[in-house]
Structure 1
Amino acid sequence: MPLSLSPFVPRVLPALVAGALLVIGSGARAGLLEDEEARKAILDLRSRFQASEESHRNRLEQLQQSTGQLTEQVQQLRRSLLDLNTQLEAQKAENAKLRGGQEQLAREVAELQKRLKDAAQALDDRLRQVEPQKIALDGKDFVAEPHERRAHDAAMAVLRTGDFDKAVAAITGFMQRFQGSGYTDSLRFWLGNAYYGQKNYKDAIASFRALVSAAPGHPRAPEALLAVANCQLEMKDGRGAKKTVEELVKAYPNSEAAAAGKERVAGVK
């Protein structure tokens, strides 16, 4: 006889439905829990992402600000370099201008110095023409008037030409005009030479003797005595020449004139 389920259905069915609902409820709660955790994780990730994004945005803004500041500093530095270069070029131009001015000033100073030197020389020349001058001649220092010096130089210039007649006239004229001149002693020697050139031995001896008598310490005195001996030899006065040489050797034993005089009269009888 077939088994009938109908008596158990009313009792089993509610239990099955309850079990099913329990299973379904547990699964639903589990799904709800998993959805909640997933939602929290998503929210946490979103929050972290937003925080990271905000941090990056802040860093980007800071970087942009730093870049802007750096750009401004670079621009300021460029402007400073341009200003410095402009100042440098201006300084170079000023230095070049100053160098040009200094060179011009140096030329003007040199020209002024030359003018002053020329003016001082011209003044000295004019003063020499009107003021007495200190003369050093044959170891003797004396003062001579400008016209006196010019007359002396003119007389000596005539003597150097070899025109003994004019030289005698110029020298004797000077000695008469400037008696007591500091040139006199030296001119006595040169007058004796001019007379000797004329072969006027008598007047030559007188002039040489006048020098030795007036200025025995004159540096040309030994030469004057030697010249006297030469004049005497020209006049064939050997004895007189020997006597003059003896006088020369005695007065000026170490002079070159004394040695030359000894040789001149060595063979004279």
Structure 2
Amino acid sequence: EELRALDARNAELQAAIREQGAEAARLRARLDAAEQELRETRTLIASPPPVGAPAPPAAAPAPAPRPDTLHPDGAEPAYNAALVLFRAREHGQAVLDLLDFIAKYPEHLLAPNAQYWIGEAYYLQRDYRQALVEFERVVDMAPVSPKAADALLKMGLSYTNLRENSRAQQAWQRVVRDYPATESAGKARALLRAHAARRP
């Protein structure tokens, strides 16, 4: 009799726990919706439409904003989820998710970062040829982004692993020349000095 009572009590507790979990999920969904509404409201307050402003002179119409710039709310969570996979060393799935991110949000500020991590995934898998291709895309995509300097630095390391030392030095020289104030430039200078010291 006592065992049956304990079983019944256990079942009640499990049901209560399940109900609390469902309620927590509902609360999280409501909180996410409220936060999104707050972000949109702040955006509208920060940039209200001009009232009574004179009409600007005739000019070529501005291109319509891309959908990803109009509704970027899902961008950062998608990027962060891909990075979680990357850090868990699930590189194959991380690459797929990062490629999907770039396809959906090609103009997002995090797109060069996503492309960089694709290169990093191949680098960590020692596929240095493909890593070079992916890192070069970072430079092509956003030549003024700090990630371009990081990508060039990694291109040099990829060339080193392929025993193409002259190309490695060219990549690092490019970092120093084009991105002199970046942290990657400091690392590139150190690598160039180390290579020079090893010469006979």
Q: Same fold (TM over 0.5)?
A: yes
Deviations 1:28-47 (A, max 9, x none): xxxxxxxxxxxxxxxxxxxx
Report the secondary structure of 2:93's partner residue: helix
Q: What does residue 226 of structure 1 align with?
A: 153
Q: What does residue 252 of structure 1 align with?
A: 179
Matched, 1:168 2:78: no
Q: What does residue 32 of structure 2 align with?
A: 125
Map 1:1-269 → 2, pairs under 5 A: 124-128=31-35, 144-268=71-195
The runs of 5 or more residues in structure 1 that have no matched partner are 1-120, 135-141
Whether the aligned pair in 2 keeps the contact of 1:189 and 1:224 (CA below 8 Å) is: yes
Alpha-carbon distance in 2 for matches of 1:171, 1:152: 7
Alpha-carbon distance in 1 for matches of 2:164, 2:89: 27
Question: Residues 151 and 131 from structure 1, CA distance in 2 versus in 1: closer, same or farther, beyond 3 angstroms?
Answer: farther
Whether the aligned pair in 2 keeps the contact of 1:242 and 1:265 (CA below 8 Å) is: yes
> What amino acid is aligned across from residue 126 of structure 1 in structure 2?
A
Q: How far off its partner does 1:175 sit?
A: 2.1
> What amino acid is aligned across from residue 196 of structure 1 in structure 2?
Y
Alpha-carbon distance in 2 for matches of 1:254, 1:131: 37
Alpha-carbon distance in 2 for matches of 1:131, 1:236: 54
Whether the aligned pair in 2 keeps the contact of 1:189 and 1:211 (CA below 8 Å) is: yes
Alpha-carbon distance in 2 for matches of 1:183, 1:260: 23
Query: Max radius of gyration: which structure?
Result: 1
| Sequence identity percentage | 23
Report the secondary structure of 2:146's partner residue: coil
Whether the aligned pair in 1 keeps the contact of 2:122 and 2:131 (CA below 8 Å) is: yes
Question: Residues 250 and 149 from structure 1, CA distance in 2 versus in 1: closer, same or farther, beyond 3 angstroms?
Answer: closer
Whether the aligned pair in 2 keeps the contact of 1:152 and 1:174 (CA below 8 Å) is: yes
Q: How far off its partner does 1:130 sit?
A: 7.5
Q: Which has the higher contact order (CA 8 A, sep 6+)?
A: 2
| Misfit runs of 4+, over 4 Å | 121-124, 128-134
Q: How far off its partner does 1:242 sit?
A: 0.8
Report the secondary structure of 2:103's partner residue: helix
CA RMSD of aligned residues (A): 3.0
Whether the aligned pair in 2 keeps the contact of 1:248 and 1:258 (CA below 8 Å) is: yes
Q: How far off its partner does 1:207 sit?
A: 2.0
Deviations 1:118-173 (A, max 9, x none): xxx97552144679778xxxxxxx76533333322211111111222222122123
Report how many residues are paired. 143
Q: How far off its partner does 1:267 sit?
A: 4.3
> What amino acid is aligned across from residue 187 of structure 2 in structure 1?
A
Q: How far off its partner does 1:264 sit?
A: 1.8
